[in-house]
Structure 1
Amino acid sequence: MPKIVDREAYRRELAIKAVDIFTEHGVNGLGMRGIAEALGISKSALYHYFTSKEELFKASTEVFLEPTSLYGLAEGEGVPQDKKEMLTKLVIALDSRFRGELTLMLDYTKDRSAQQVSEDSLLAIANQKFKGELGNIVGDSHADQAYALLFGGLTMRLLNGEQTKIEDIVQWVLDIPNKNGH
């Protein structure tokens, strides 16, 4: 009897696994053959679920931006309602994969003009998601500042060998509305 596969569930599983592959190798580091090998499936099987590497990358990006992944939550765990706890979970989750994500982002944008980057739908989705989450914490009017401070703090932490503490980054972001008089 043939094995019955839930196409969408398996497609999602492949996209989840591909997040780590893209983070490790970049967007341009592997072709579909290399990605298929890393996933442990044939290239033709991968093409059955994704018509291109770009389609797989888009699916992986969408999975990465879901709350479970974004906040590093266990399956079934909800996003905390307390702003400090919410931001702490977000910073810890981002920090755990920041080097790979930064490398991936640079690889993804390196051969693109400023206009191409500004018109890229995946980057727009990611930016909106991050700014939306930060807006929930510090208010929409401070989301851009929080976004810059969060990624600046994570970059400092990366470059100074984790001397910048996660708690400090969290507090810097939480202090934004107070410093702006709101």
Structure 2
Amino acid sequence: MPKIIDHQAHKQLIVSKACHVFLAHGYSQLGMRQLADELKVSKSALYHYFASKEALFTACIEYITSEDMAFSPCPPNTSPETRLDALLEVIQHIDERFKGELNLVIDFTRGMTAEQIHHNQHMQLVEKKYLDLVTEYVGKTNAIPIYTILLGSLLGRVLNGNTTSWQEVKDWLLPLVE
């Protein structure tokens, strides 16, 4: 009897595993053959689901950002402080893998001009998703400054060995939340 495969579930499994491969190896060093080897699938099976490394990378971005969006839903009709606490839960979840993602972004954008990065569909997708996330939690008025402070906080924690506390970040942001 032929094996019945849930193609959508298999594709999602490949994507979830590929996220870890990209984080471990970067973008530029990987080809479809190495990706297939790392994912323990044939190269032809990988091409069956994804036309290119870029298509797989896009799926990984969608997967990671969707996971982040679902991590701690914004509590409706609550105080600004409660919404900020929920947002900081999401950011702390991101913080666990931020160093790897930062390395991946640097690798992916290496050699690009600021203009190329600005117009890159992957960078636009990531920025839009996370700015929308921040806006959902804190409102539109100060979403961009809050988003920028959060990114700076994540980077600062990488640079200072996580000595900036999340309570400090909360104290900086609370006056900006609607």
TM-score higher than 0.5? yes
Secondary structure (helix, strand or coil) at the match of 1:162 reads: coil
Question: What stretches of structure 1 of length at least 5 have no aligned partner?
Answer: none
Which aligned runs of 4 or more in structure 1 are off by greater than 6 angstroms?
Answer: none
- What are the residue-to-residue correspondences of 1:45-124 with 2, within 5 Å? 45-66=45-66, 69-70=67-68, 73=71, 79-81=73-75, 82-124=82-124
Matches within 5 A, 1:33-52: 33-52=33-52
Q: Is contact 1:33-1:43 (8 Å) kept? A: yes
1:161 equivalent in structure 2: 161
Partner of 1:83: helix, strand, or coil?
helix
Q: Which residue in 1 is equivalent to 2:78?
A: none
**Number of residue equivalences:** 172
The reply on whether 1:7 has 2:7 as its aligned counterpart is: yes
CA distance in 1 between counterparts of 2:8 and 2:119 reads 28
Change (3 A) 1:84 1:141: closer
What value does the CA root-mean-square deviation take over the aligned residues? 1.7
Quick one: distance in 2 between partners of 1:23 and 1:173?
Answer: 29
Quick one: higher RCO (CA 8 Å, sep 6+), 1 or 2? 2
Q: Which residue of 1 aligns with 2:128?
A: 128
* Contact residue 74 and residue 137 of structure 2 kept, 8 A: no
| Contact persistence 2:16–2:63 (CA under 8 A) | yes
Aligned to 2:175: 175
Normalising to structure 1: TM-score of the pair? 0.87
1:137 CA displacement: 2.2
